[in-house]
């Protein structure tokens, strides 16, 4: 699916304006993010005195399907920001490809795409033609209250943009697409000339304030798997090369994961260790990548197998980080990241510690150990560039391995699981993996 197609299938009509479908950190409902004024009849912008009846809202999805209010039962609800022109409409869970929230700061000259339903295009017979999109560039004014002024790269008539208010401002990011914010109004417009150059949008993080005020009824703007490792457990340690016992071994691994990580969530780890999860220089928007958290779960499982079986908590992770850390990057060749690895946050890792590297581009590389080549870096980082405890020699005291080293040991020792049963499976797992950090 192209970037345009992804943005199009999340763009919706909300009354005379537009909105964006977004899947938050739950599987029972979805959000429509929109401009608050779309939910009011007021003719004066910003007055918010005459709210529209929630049960009579006209919401139309990109494929022409109208939201059936009667089928929404007790899910349908709206939540407004106290001062900003944004709102969340909660609806029953829909199937679509959701965008990810942007986690980066916005800077002058950043370029984005803005999508919405121009009023006069809504009756066009071709669904693709009903969507309008605009190329935006951030101008010189970033307003402190989370409003950003942007300019169109082309001039448009007022009727081209009318009806798009509340639509999404997006950016392409690797194979994903990021929601930067929600357009709320023209910054200045002319009804007679093609000079409607400036718009305002409100950044995605402003919606966090709505959620914080309604935390009993709303969940954060992160993918569902950020709220539970259970949604990732099917994708860990695939063991596809096993001829026998594959299902038995994987079921045990999944059981251990579900049993002992039930009190730990990706979102809690992100909040506590955000600066310690990514290899230096990689975009913070990778922080919610699905594959990162699959591999992080494998990292957790290793500690359960070779250590003690006890519930994983943030405090337990802090103890593990003294012996082992995991760093993530969206990259194909992990062996080319040596300098960046050494500039990453390795504070707290003690002597004989292991740095596990997780790259989504090649989940199963042939080489899983950098311990020798890390010493021979042609241009090692300067001491002041490294984030490592005093007295730790990166080339002697630490080891560097790809996270696949764990599964590789399981594959290489398949024969040891031939006699595995419920009584001895944990002992065999520990025997096979206890030297993975050596």
- Residue-by-residue DSSP string for 103-153: -SPP-TT-EEEEEEE-GGGTT-SSGGGGEEEEEEEEEEEE-TTSEEEEEES
* pLDDT tens digits, one per residue of 32-80: 999 999 999 987 777 888 999 999 999 999 999 999 998 998 899 999 9
Q: Is the pLDDT of residue 317 over 50?
A: yes
pLDDT band (50, 70, 90) for residue 142: low
Asked if 86 and 207 count as a contact pair (C-beta separation under 8 A), the reply is yes
Distance (Å) of CA 179 to CA 83, 207, 267:
21, 12, 19
- Among 430, 422, 438, which Cα is nearest to 303's? 430
Judge residue 332's burial from the number of C-beta atoms within 10 Å of its C-beta, 0-12 exposed, 13-18 middle, 19 or more buried.
exposed
Beta bridge partner(s), residue 324: 354
Give me the pLDDT at residue 351, please.
95
pLDDT band (50, 70, 90) for residue 191: very low
Instruction: Give the strand order in the sheet containing 324-329.
Output: 324-329, 353-359, 398-402
Q: Are strands 176-188 and 77-80 parallel, antiparallel or unpaired?
A: unpaired
**345 and 318: one domain?**
yes
Q: What percent of the chain has pLDDT over 70?
A: 95
**pLDDT, average across residues 181-202:** 71
**274 and 399: one domain?**
yes
* Number of domains forming the structure of the chain: 2
> Higher pLDDT residue, 325 or 379?
325
Q: Distance between CA atoms of 269 and 49, rounded to whole angstroms?
A: 42
Q: Is the pLDDT of residue 141 over 70?
A: no
Residue 152 forms part of a structural domain: yes
* pLDDT tens digits, one per residue of 209-234: 999 999 999 999 999 999 999 999 99
Quote the mean pLDDT of the chain: 91
* pLDDT tens digits, one per residue of 3-15: 999 999 999 999 9
**106 and 194: one domain?**
yes
* pLDDT tens digits, one per residue of 239-253: 999 999 999 999 999
Give me the pLDDT at residue 23, please.
97
**pLDDT, average across residues 18-30:** 96
pLDDT band (50, 70, 90) for residue 190: very low
Residue 390 forms part of a structural domain: yes
**209 and 153: one domain?**
yes
Give me the pLDDT at residue 343, please.
93
Q: Distance between CA atoms of 234 and 437, rounded to whole angstroms?
A: 25
Q: Distance between CA atoms of 438 and 428, rounded to whole angstroms?
A: 18
Q: Is the pLDDT of residue 18 over 90?
A: yes
Asked if 104 and 283 count as a contact pair (C-beta separation under 8 A), the reply is yes
**99 and 229: one domain?**
no
**64 and 126: one domain?**
yes
Distance (Å) of CA 370 to CA 149, 208, 357, 399, 414:
47, 41, 10, 7, 24
Q: Are strands 87-92 and 11-14 parallel, antiparallel or unpaired?
A: unpaired
* pLDDT tens digits, one per residue of 342-380: 999 999 999 999 999 999 888 899 999 987 667 677 777
**67 and 100: one domain?**
yes
Residue 161 forms part of a structural domain: yes
Task: Concatenate the DSSP letters of all residues of 367-434 into one string.
Answer: --B-TTGGGG-SSPPPGGG-B--TT--TTTTEEEEETHHHHHHHHHTGGGGTT--TTTHHHHHHHHHT
Q: Is the pLDDT of residue 381 over 80?
A: yes
Q: Distance between CA atoms of 155 and 160, rounded to whole angstroms?
A: 10
**168 and 303: one domain?**
no
CA 255-438-417 angle, to 5 degrees, is 40
Q: Is the pLDDT of residue 143 over 70?
A: no
Question: What CATH number is associated with residue 90?
Answer: 2.40.10.120
Q: Is the pLDDT of residue 196 over 60?
A: no
**pLDDT, average across residues 392-396:** 89
Give me the pLDDT at residue 111, please.
92
**261 and 347: one domain?**
yes
**209 and 145: one domain?**
yes
Residue 219 forms part of a structural domain: no
Give me the pLDDT at residue 140, please.
61
Distance (Å) of CA 313 to CA 220, 299, 409:
21, 14, 26
Give me the pLDDT at residue 319, please.
96
Give me the pLDDT at residue 52, please.
95
Residue 384 belongs to domain spanning: 224-433
**206 and 238: one domain?**
no
Give me the pLDDT at residue 192, please.
44
Give me the pLDDT at residue 188, please.
59
Residue 27 forms part of a structural domain: yes
Q: Distance between CA atoms of 297 and 99, rounded to whole angstroms?
A: 23
Q: Is the pLDDT of residue 383 over 90?
A: no
């Amino acid at each position: 699916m192209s970037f345009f197609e992804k943005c199009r299938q999340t763009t919706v009509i909300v009354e005379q304006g537009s909105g964006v479908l977004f899947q938050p950190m739950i599987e029972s409902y979805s959000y429509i993010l929109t401009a608050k004024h779309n939910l009011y009849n007021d003719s004066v912008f910003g007055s918010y005195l005459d709210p529209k009846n929630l049960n009579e809202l006209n919401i139309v999805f990109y494929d022409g399907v109208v939201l059936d209010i009667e089928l929404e039962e007790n899910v349908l609800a709206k939540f407004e920001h106290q001062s900003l022109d944004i709102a969340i409409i909660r609806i029953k869970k829909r199937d679509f490809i959701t965008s990810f929230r942007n986690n980066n700061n916005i800077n002058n000259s950043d370029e984005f795409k803005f999508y919405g339903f121009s009023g006069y295009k809504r009756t066009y017979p071709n669904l693709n033609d009903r969507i309008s999109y605009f190329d935006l560039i951030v101008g010189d004014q970033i307003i402190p209250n989370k409003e950003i002024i942007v300019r169109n790269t082309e001039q448009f008539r007022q009727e081209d943009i009318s009806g798009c208010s509340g639509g999404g401002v997006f950016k392409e990011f690797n194979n994903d697409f990021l929601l930067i914010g929600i357009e709320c109004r023209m910054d200045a417009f002319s009804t007679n000339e093609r000079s409607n150059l400036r718009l305002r949008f409100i950044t995605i993080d402003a919606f966090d304030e709505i959620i914080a005020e309604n935390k009993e009824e709303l969940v954060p703007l992160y993918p569902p798997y950020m709220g539970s490792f259970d949604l990732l457990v099917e994708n860990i340690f695939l063991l596809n090369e096993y001829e026998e016992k594959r299902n038995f071994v994987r079921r045990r691994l999944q059981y251990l994961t579900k049993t002992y990580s039930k009190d730990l969530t990706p979102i809690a780890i992100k909040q506590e260790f955000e600066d310690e999860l990514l290899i230096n220089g990689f975009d913070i928007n990778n922080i919610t990548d699905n594959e990162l958290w699959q591999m992080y779960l494998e990292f957790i499982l290793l500690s359960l197998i070779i250590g003690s079986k006890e519930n994983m908590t943030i405090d337990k992770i802090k103890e593990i980080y003294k012996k082992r850390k995991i760093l993530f990057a969206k990259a194909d060749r992990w062996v080319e990241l040596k300098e960046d690895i050494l500039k990453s946050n390795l504070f707290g890792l003690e002597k004989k510690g292991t740095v596990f590297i997780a790259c989504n581009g090649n989940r199963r590389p042939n080489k899983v150990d950098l311990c020798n080549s890390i010493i021979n870096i042609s241009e090692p980082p300067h001491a002041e560039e490294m984030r490592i405890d005093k007295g730790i020699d990166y080339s002697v005291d630490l080891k560097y391995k790809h996270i696949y080293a764990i599964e590789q040991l399981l594959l290489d020792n398949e024969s040891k699981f031939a006699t595995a049963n419920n009584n001895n499976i944990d002992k065999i797992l520990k025997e096979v993996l206890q030297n993975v950090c050596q």
